[in-house]
Structure 1
Amino acid sequence: MNAIEIEILGSGCKKCQQLEANAKEAVANLNLTAVVLHITDPIEIAKRGVMSTPAMTINGKVVSKGHVISPEQIQPLLQR
């Protein structure tokens, strides 16, 4: 199975860092292989259709924006 690509979109603020940590925890809890990237460039974030950060994409699909979701909320999104 290919690695899952997760992107955290945001300026790098405390909430963005928490979302990234939550995503990594969810990946570890499920024993999955994933690449977690943090995108801070506002132009790249806008290209993904995101105007409210922090946001997260999984394999290119925006799954969350404007708030920090917990590892428990992320896990079902990774199993799709």
Structure 2
Amino acid sequence: MKTFKVLGGGCRNCEVTAKIIAQAAAEAGVDIQLEKITDMAEILGHGVMSTPAVVIDDTVVHSGGVPSSDAVRAWVKDADQ
């Protein structure tokens, strides 16, 4: 099971990002672990300077805005393999 982390201060874009990921995983029937990280030290520890950001298994795959639905579906599909 892949771990998806949404990094950010809890803003609207961070919430939307988490919902898009959860919805894509549900639609694909893929079990993921989804965490919302708001601790600034942990966010900076990933080298992220712009949020929201998405981390999959400790690899930053996106930062600086809400990711596209197509990108999220691709991440979830890769998580199923």
Task: State yes or no: 1:73 paired with 2:62.
Answer: no
Which stretches in structure 1 are left out of the alignment for 5+ residues? Answer: none
CA RMSD after TM alignment: 1.0
Number of paired residues? 78
Shift of the alpha carbon at 1:75?
Answer: 1.1
Give the counterpart of 1:17 among 15, 18, 35.
Answer: 15
Shift of the alpha carbon at 1:72?
Answer: 2.6
- Aligned counterparts, 1:1-80, within 5 A: 3-80=1-78
Runs of 4+ displaced beyond 4 Å: none
Query: Residues of 2 paired with 1:43 and 1:15: CA distance?
Result: 20
Query: Residues of 2 paired with 1:49 and 1:33: CA distance?
Result: 27
Shift of the alpha carbon at 1:51?
Answer: 0.6
Deviation per CA, 1:20-78, whole angstroms, max 9, x where unpaired? 00010111111101110000001000001101000001111111100101333201122
Assess if the C-alpha contact under 8 Å between 1:55 and 1:65 holds in 2.
yes
Name the TM-score, length of structure 2 as normaliser.
Answer: 0.89
